[in-house]
Chain A
Amino acid sequence: MILDSKIPEGPLAEKWEKHKFNVKLVNPANKRKYDIIVVGTGLAGASAAATLAELGYNVKAFCYQDSPRRAHSIAAQGGINAAKNYQNDGDSVYRLFYDTIKGGDYRAREANVYRLAQVSVNIIDQCVAQGVPFAREYGGLLANRSFGGAQVSRTFYARGQTGQQLLLGAYSALNRQIAYGKVKMYPRTEMLDLVMVDGQARGIVTRHLVTGKIESHSAHAVILATGGYGNVFYLSTNAMGSNATAAWRAYKKGALFANPCFTQIHPTCIPVSGGYQSKLTLMSESLRNDGRVWVPKAVGDNRAPQDIPEDERDYFLERKYPSFGNLVPRDVASRNAKLACDEGRGVGTTKLAVYLDFADVIKRDGLNTVVQKYGNLFDMYAKITGENPYEQPMRIYPAVHYTMGGLWVDYNLMTTIPGLYATGECNFSDHGANRLGASALMQGLADGYFVIPYTIGDYLAQNPTARIETSHPAFKEAEAAVQTEVNRLLNVNGTRTVDDFHKALGLLMWDYCGMARNAEGLQYAKQEIRKLRDEFWRDVKILGVNEELNVTLEKAGRVADFLELGELMVDDALNRNESCGGHFREEYQTPENEALRDDENYTYVAAWQYTGTNQQPVLHKEELKFENVKLTQRSYK
């Protein structure tokens, strides 16, 4: 298989313009003859569903939550990047492009990233028009803040709830189309398989989470906007229900999965407090604008933070990276926190934490300013830990947050299956080996509002308008397969709970395929995951039947997929004999413990093809060509 990324010819800055002119259009009267399925209603899904419906297509949108507004984009805190240069501090489309490519450690596609930077400015305009209440200055114009990996202030925000406000904007646009009857919304419905007819994606099979009804839906194209797979690790900042099932089932139907080992570990999360822990909570990166990260200089210093004098503290990010300081990118900040803890300088009772200290900014700007800027985050911290972060420093530790890998897509966001698209975190295309803060919201909305509405038309225009009934044998076959899989789970009748398996998998992934990896550990993890998977299918305990609200059954299906995906992540991490961004192979590092890339051998996207359960997947390579940016050792010193 040759992977054709379909990147348009011509200079970088003109590619998207030219491409928009060259794509085929569907005339307005014909749009109503096409049906499009959108799975997931976060930023990428809701924006796509609303925009496609506005254009005149018939849209069916699906989410597993009880309302489309609850998709996990809602939890994004800090902000959204855009190259508006409202601050007159030297920002530009090119600089946002450059920062993103560099931040991704040169493992993303130039053309996609440039397009992302170009449309970023339209996103802000769109959101303001929808009534998104971004933070403003006293003059009434929009405010900005800084984020990691950039030296300009280009992040737009709505206190610490930017994701919520952006999603509510997209949700309102979606609601308008639901009211018009152009979008049919299916909440509490989970996609369990992709249906293909003559090699094209033509629909999905779903299970209704209250009634258990297994049902088919037919369309001319399918968009997966189902988010990332961070919950492979059990503990992550993802929502409890976030899962990889839709993307994974598409992979098993032939869509390639790209760079699965590229996971982002976010440096500032509230540390784990016990074995009962169900999820980890992020403390926004925006806190690193003012908070200072430190640990005691001495190993085993058990004094309370306020008793440790200034000259016995190590502000390690400021010391090692004077030009970016506390605002280094996430992978760098996380790795350094881990190093400090590995040296025995961690803090708190578990010693797996570092301090994030606001004493200086409170002294400098006053308590009120800090409350204004970060109040809700401080409250959240206090609720979870029972500690007052205005009086003592926060304790933070890295946690799994985002997955840069995902379904392989071309420039049109189409997967290797014709008619199947992947947008937002679900695809792999824009963030390389490390995503910069405030860029996930940007990508989700860019894909949904401004990219897919153009590119999907090009595909539809070349395909007939005739619909396929769900009585077609392909649908019946897929439904039967889903039913068989559900029965298989219900018939195991084992002794161990789903959560127990999930926790065991998570621990393996965190220990051997987390912040640091090495070949030996990865090989061990691969064997252990296979064993765990076998045991799952022999011994998992699920009660009840399919025809009811059965939470254990839902979870079991998702964990079964994680048990397969985890192995693919390990395969990918083993294959990539270099360190880059969030993928840190201990064998490949500079003397200063920085990631050591191997550009000669690994400047490619690793796209994996499914060949069967317990079979080795086949690796396909998409060479990355850098025509505009020079590859260098990433430095934030």
Chain B
Amino acid sequence: MAGNNPNSKPMNLTLKVWRQKNSQATGKLETYNIKNISPEMSFLEMMDVLNEDLLLQGIDPVAFDHDCREGICGMCSLYINGRAHGPERGTTTCQLHMRKFSDGDTITIEPWRAGPFPILKDLCTDRSALDRIQQAGGYISVNTGGVPDANEIPIPKSIADKAFDAATCIQCGACVAACKNGSAMLFTSAKVSQLALLPQGKVERKTRVENMVAQMDKEGFGACTNIGSCAAECPVGISLENIAMLNREYINASFTSENV
């Protein structure tokens, strides 16, 4: 009972899925055949169908991270056919729909692969390194209460819009997974840019960029070589410009640092 495309035919697919019992175990790709997949299904709904099948056969279902299923929480991941979040640009895995695939396709599904994201089980990885980068300085140091009226500081619309664009990062980690160096520059730069653009964030801009970059390095993320896979694969379109901005902020901070 498809909503809009009554002619769409169900598909049969072959899935090659990364299975790994826990972080210590060795993993491998397992092959599963799956039938009657509606093109109206989301990719994760297809995974639900697979898991119900596996459960009934007494096989441990595939663990994968997901939560909101509307492209905003950033919990879903998956490397699908060699691409972070699959073949559709500007889309998280949860918003990818099976109409992008064809009957008879083989789909390879792997977890994010990056040193700082250890695999927990199957397709679930530990991305807490990204939280720790945020904790190193991704904030404006104001306590609750005692702040000025919201309209006291006018902010040009163009600046506010640009800050917003940077602020839409969902911290999914696709940029890291897509980068051959496993770099977290796009992710880190999004927060640095957002706060450096806004007048409220300028006060701490130097220490912020220094501390966040230091934490990024400490976590073992690779260096940026300006390839741009991160921005190409980012599901919410975080622009490469942010990395340029981070570099400017960082150089500026290095020369004029208050931390010397």
Contacts and interface: CB of A to CB of B under 8 A. Distances in A.
Interface string B48-73: 11001001101111010111111111
A239 B155 contact: no
B189 interface: no
A544 B61 CA distance: 10
Given A128-B200, A549-B124, A67 B130 contact: yes
A577 interface: no
Contacts of B90: 379
A450 B167 CA distance: 25
Contacts of B70: 75, 279, 281-282, 380
A385 interface: yes
Contact of B1 (A131, A172, A349, A450): A349
A223 B48 CA distance: 33
A72 B73 CA distance: 7
Contacts of A54: 143-144
Contacts of A273: 1-4, 38, 40
Given A69-B171, A135-B160, A130 B128 contact: no
B127 A66 contact: yes
A82 to B, nearest CB: 9
Contact of B3 (A187, A210, A271): A271
Given A67-B171, A128-B150, A165-B167, A497 B56 contact: yes
Contacts of A499: 48, 52
Contacts, number: 240
Contact of A274 (B1, B95, B120, B167): B1
Interface in A164-203: 164-165, 168, 171-173, 175-176, 178-179, 185, 187
Interface string A45-84: 0010011001000000000011111101011000000001
Nearest to B70: A281
A385 B139 contact: no
B113 interface: no
B91 interface: yes
A129 B140 contact: yes
Contacts of A65: 67, 73, 75
B155 A140 contact: yes
A130 B42 CA distance: 36
Given A278-B45, A551-B61, A141 B154 contact: yes
A276 B155 contact: no
Contacts of B44: 278
B258 interface: no
- Which of B45, B150, B160, B195 has the largest number of chain A CB atoms within 10 A? B150
Contacts of B163: 131, 133
A208 to B, nearest CB: 11
Contacts of B48: 276, 278, 499
Contacts of B71: 380, 383
B97 A67 contact: no
Interface string B139-181: 1111111011111011111001101100110110000000000
Nearest to A277: B45
A138 B159 CA distance: 10
Contacts of A179: 135-136
B60 A543 contact: yes
Interface in A375-409: 379-380, 383-387, 395
Contacts of A383: 71, 88, 91, 95, 97
B9 interface: no
B163 to A, nearest CB: 4
A240 B66 contact: yes
Given A74-B73, A274-B1, A129 B148 contact: yes
Contacts of B116: none
Nearest to A135: B160
Nearest to A141: B151
Contacts of B232: none
Interface stretch (A26-34, A119-127, A590-598, A612-620): A119-127
B83 interface: no
A53 B237 CA distance: 34
B74 A69 contact: yes
A350 B3 contact: yes
A176 to B, nearest CB: 5
Contacts of A549: 22, 63, 120-121, 124
B61 A133 contact: no
A450 B147 CA distance: 13
A483 interface: no
A327 interface: no
A14 interface: no
Contacts of B136: 179
Contact of B69 (A86, A239, A450): A239
Interface string B99-139: 10000000000000000000011001011101100111011
B201 interface: yes
B145 to A, nearest CB: 7
Contact of B72 (A75, A130, A384, A541): A75
B55 A175 contact: no
A543 B72 CA distance: 31
A421 interface: no
A90 interface: no
A187 B128 contact: yes
B139 A75 contact: no
B121 to A, nearest CB: 4
Interface in B178-202: 194-195, 198, 200-201
Contacts of A272: 3
B143 A159 contact: no
A254 interface: no
Contacts of B128: 66-67, 187
Contacts of A210: 120-121
Interface in A257-285: 271-274, 276-279, 281-282
Contacts of A134: 150, 160
Given A66-B65, A281-B70, A543-B58, A137 B157 contact: yes
B259 interface: no
Given A84-B150, A179-B135, A552-B61, A274 B38 contact: yes
Contacts of B164: 133, 135, 158-159, 165
Interface in A210-258: 210, 239-241
Contacts of B126: 66
Nearest to A176: B139
Contacts of B143: 51, 54
A450 B157 contact: no
Q: Among A168, A241, A272, which residue has the most Cβ atoms of chain B within 10 A?
A: A168
In this complex, the member of A50, A130, A187, A499 whose beta carbon has the largest number of chain B beta carbons within 10 angstroms is: A130
Nearest to A275: B1
A314 B241 CA distance: 48
A124 B150 contact: yes
Nearest to B99: A386
A49 B160 CA distance: 28
Nearest to B199: A131
Given A66-B128, A67-B130, A140 B135 contact: no
25 contacts: A66-B75, A70-B68, A72-B67, A72-B73, A125-B150, A128-B147, A129-B147, A129-B200, A131-B167, A138-B157, A140-B156, A140-B157, A142-B151, A165-B164, A172-B134, A175-B138, A176-B135, A179-B136, A273-B1, A274-B1, A274-B40, A276-B49, A386-B40, A453-B144, A543-B61
